[in-house]
A = this chain, B = another copy of it.
Amino acid sequence: MPHNARASLIAVDWGTTSARAYRLDGQGNVLDSRNAPLGVSQVAGGRFAEALSSLLGDWDGEKVPRIASGMIGSRQGWVEAPYLDCPAPLNALAEAIARTPGDRLHVVPGLRTRDGNGTPDVMRGEETQVVGAVGRTRTPLVVVLPGTHSKWVCVEDGRIVDFVTYMTGELWHVLLQHSILGRLAVATPPAATTTPAFERGMARGQGTGSFMHDIFGARTHVLMGELAGEEVGEWLSGLLIAREIRNARQWAQRRGYDGARVRLVGDDALVARYVTALSAADVSVERADSRAAAFGLWQIAVEAGLVHPISDRT
């Protein structure tokens, strides 16, 4: 497809630290993408219009609708798109789109649910990735989005039924950077493949032990000469990911979903770790296209009548 093919929609996955823009053609195919470190926390003084122009560059002149998801719709973003409650069908997301002054950007709302104890849970941006990752699947499906705040999402018949957050990535970071567990650790670049230390951490994470006790093994194994300083990060990563998977499968099963089969969305390095850990827990994995946000924004834009597909994508 030529680089200058005509765009029908510009879609932006606009998060806390970075933003990625996609040009989509009239059938929802991605023509091109661009990203910049212009996340909501990086834009000073509410200068979001300037940030968008900077992100889009020479696409900025194209007279096509623009739609975004993620933290850009939070109270700290350009325009607040209040959380919708679960279960949330696709048309509810489309109907609740917020608009910036002058309709420069359409903004998809985030979702809210309550867990079994009535405690709120929230997402912004992941709901759109889920829409893109699920596509036309109508059967019950569990979608997993690993990350700083990993999400497990139950979807059925075009509706996001419920979801749950685990602070997996952030716990890994703060424990390694700021706790005594990191003091004996030696920094190593993230490995392309998982290691024996990751597997050992996974074995601990798969158990039924107390999280607040189990992580202390990252210190005691090193003290006893049973784990090298270079292996602490991998060991903790294995423990945290395996524990997330264990807890989340039980969560999905309590909701009547089959936690033994999931669809995974995310960047390659993290997804590889999750594939290893999910396989070790006998969970079968389908990988969604990593451009799920773009496909989700397209579907929501179509549902909202912002674009009219030229012909069916199938």
Bound CA–CA A213/B117 (angstroms): 12
List the B side residues contacting A204 at CB < 8 Å: 117, 119
User: CB-CB < 8 A to A117: which residues of B?
Assistant: 203-204, 207, 209
A113-147 contacts to B, CB under 8 A, are: 115-117, 119-122
Q: How many angstroms between the C-alpha atoms of A69 and B226 in the bound complex?
A: 25
- Contacts A119-B220, A120-B217, A120-B224 given; indicate if A247 touches B207 (C-beta within 8 A): no
Residues of B within 8 A of A210 (CB): 166, 211, 243-244, 247-248, 251
Q: In the assembled complex, which residues on chain B have CB atoms less than 8 Å from the CB atom of A168?
A: 212
Bound CA span A178–B175, Å:
9
A213 with B122: CB separation less than 8 A: no
- Taking a contact as CB atoms under 8 Å apart, the answer to whether B120 and A213 are in contact is no
Q: Kindly identify which residue among B120, B164, B174, B215 contacts A175, using a CB–CB cutoff of 8 Å.
A: B174
CB-based contact A174/B166 at 8 Å: no
Inter-chain contact A247/B171, CB cutoff 8 Å = no
Contact A215 B167 (CB under 8 A): yes
Once the chains bind, are A177 and B179 in contact (CB under 8 Å)? Answer: no
In the bound complex, CA of A174 to CA of B171 (Å):
9
Complex interface: chain B residues within 8 A of A175 (CB): 174
Give bound CA distance, A76 to B213, whole Å: 24
Whether A165 touches B120, Cβ cut-off 8 Å, given contacts A174-B175, A178-B174, A178-B177, is: no
A contacts, CB < 8 Å to B: 112, 115-117, 119-122, 149, 164-168, 170-171, 174-175, 177-180, 203-204, 207, 209-217, 220-221, 223-224, 226, 240, 243-244, 247-248, 251
